[in-house]
Amino acid sequence: MNTKMIRFILAKMLGVEAILLLLPALVGAVYGERDALYFLPVSAVLLVIYFIAGQRKPQNRTIYGKEGMIIVASAWILWSLFGALPFTLSGSIPYYLDAVFETVSGFTTTGSSILIDIEALPQCMLFWRSFTHWVGGMGVLVFVMVLTSLDKNNTMYLMRAEVPGPEKDKLVPKMMSTARILYAMYLGLTLIEVILLLCGGMNMFDSLIHAFGTAGTGGFSNYAASVGHFESAYIDGVITVFMILFGINFNLYFLLLLGEAKSVWKNEELRVYLGIIAGAIAIITLNISGQFPNPLKAFRYAAFQVASIITTTGYATADYNGWPMLSQCILLLLMIIGACASSTGGGIKVSRFMIVIKSIRREIKQMLHPKSVNIIKINGKKIGPDVLRVVYIYLLAYMGIVVGSILLVSIDNLDFGTTFSSVMATLNNIGPGINDVGPVGNFAEFSPLSKIVFCFDMLAGRLEIFPFLMLFTLSAWRRKF
């Protein structure tokens, strides 16, 4: 284990967070808020750590997959622990564990909240809370790669440990260039959404907050009623479209830039993703039409909520706790499936869902025709045994975490719907669940133990389980592989 290189990269990352903390301080200065001062001491401490441990590169700069996973998991934990301090120092979130929960929820783009009176927070705190979504959307390591040289020889292991999906594709031969292309597209889409929201009557601050939440598919709003606060069909429509766009594999946007539109539409995962969205919207629209004055309004709310849940954004324009059980069950299934691989969305991912379905179909064919050769293909490419093994193990680990988390959270003795959906909402990085943690509820009533479990689930879900579990595997720190 190259601990010196791990320490060097983590110190460099904390230095970047120190700079980022100056942004909400600047926002607070613009609004004349004294709370902005609480970002400065945290930033100063991080800069000291950077200057002590992040200046000299170790002689041995080689890292492998093991170090990459540990660096990624450690970075997310450290960014969350330090990022929570301004909330507690200012008194905006008095209890540090609650502040950590809120910050982990921000960086992992989950959007679950313990806040009861969101609108009472200062603007600088609301900005930092939502800006964590935008930074975490593409990944904190990818973000640091874009801003700094970090370590060009080792970026492959860092990016593979952080970018979601069963397979990690490079857009161009160099990982550093890939990271910069991804963030250029990410920034471009965010700016377009900000402009469109401004055209819909939002002010600049609200536009930035909701663009950050949409881009990172996180869902933090600066209003208790979320996007429903604006009561605007135009704003609902813009955010619906952009939630769906940010749930698409970003590699496909690169193909569009290269003029390969046909290749994009031939992408099997994209077509399944859009098909699931269309089917869910159609069924829910029919199911809830009796609760709205006309079918068009039912479609508007159904489309928004389907896009919000499948992309794991978590924004809300209606309280779906009052919808028929069929609609609630569909939304719960969408929570599990999630968005596309290599997007900012969470969940199991559509690509894994496709692999599982095709694996079941292959086994049935094999039983019917034992001598036949059946190959699993996605986008015309054979899915090798290594990828299948990783997908199956991921799903087993996923189910293990779900069961363990539900048992621990059930100690709070809340109803099953709340207990189950709170675990699914945090592990899949969605935000709201159903019942007490629905779109008009929050996570404030849970015990400290449950909040720690949720923090674990949010980090494990965002890092796709294994990088986070690697951090707690003692043998990984001792053995070379």
Residue 231's region, left for phi above 0, alpha for psi from -120 to 50, else beta, is left
| pLDDT score recorded for residue 240 | 97
What does the pLDDT average to over 359-372? 86
φ, ψ dihedrals at 378, nearest 5°: -135, 125
What gap in Å lies between CA 208 and CA 193, rounded to an integer?
9
| pLDDT score recorded for residue 408 | 97
Concatenate the DSSP letters of all residues of 230-277 into one string.
Answer: G--HHHHHHHHHHHHHHTS-HHHHHHHHTT-HHHHHT-HHHHHHHHHH
pLDDT, one tens digit per residue, over 326-338 is 999 999 999 999 9
Per-residue pLDDT band for 369 (boundaries 50, 70, 90) equals: confident
Alpha carbon separation from 375 to 208, 360, 383 (Å, rounded): 46, 12, 8
| pLDDT score recorded for residue 481 | 43
For 139, other C-beta atoms within 10 Å of its C-beta total 27
pLDDT, one tens digit per residue, over 383-430 is 888 888 888 898 999 999 999 999 999 999 999 999 999 999 999 999
| pLDDT score recorded for residue 257 | 84
Top-ranked range on mean pLDDT: pick from 2-6, 149-153, 236-240, 437-441: 236-240
In this structure, what is the dihedral angle of CA atoms 308, 314, 320, 324, given to the nearest 10 degrees? 60
Contacts for 316-322: CB closer than 8 Å, 24+ residues apart: 316/226, 316/227, 316/228, 316/432, 316/439, 316/440, 317/226, 317/227, 317/228, 317/236, 318/228, 318/439, 319/438, 319/439, 319/440, 320/434, 320/438, 320/439, 321/434, 321/435, 321/438, 321/439, 321/440, 322/291
To the nearest whole number, what is the mean pLDDT of the chain?
88
Residue 241 pLDDT > 90: yes
Least confident window among 146-150, 243-247, 343-347, 366-370? 146-150
Residue 281 pLDDT > 90: yes
pLDDT, one tens digit per residue, over 14-51 is 998 999 999 999 999 999 999 999 999 999 999 999 99
Top-ranked range on mean pLDDT: pick from 220-229, 346-355, 358-367, 381-390: 220-229
Least confident window among 372-386, 389-403, 454-468? 372-386
For 244, other C-beta atoms within 10 Å of its C-beta total 21
Per-residue pLDDT band for 296 (boundaries 50, 70, 90) equals: very high
What gap in Å lies between CA 247 and CA 167, rounded to an integer?
16
- The pLDDT > 90 percentage for the chain reads 58
Apex 162 CA angle, 158 and 166, nearest 5: 115
Least confident window among 68-82, 175-189, 230-244, 383-397? 175-189
Specify the DSSP class assigned to residue 121.
Answer: S
**Nearest CA to 220 among 316, 293, 91?**
316
The answer to whether 351 touches 341, Cβ cutoff 8 Å, is yes
In this prediction the pTM is 0.91
| pLDDT score recorded for residue 337 | 92
What gap in Å lies between CA 290 and CA 125, rounded to an integer?
40
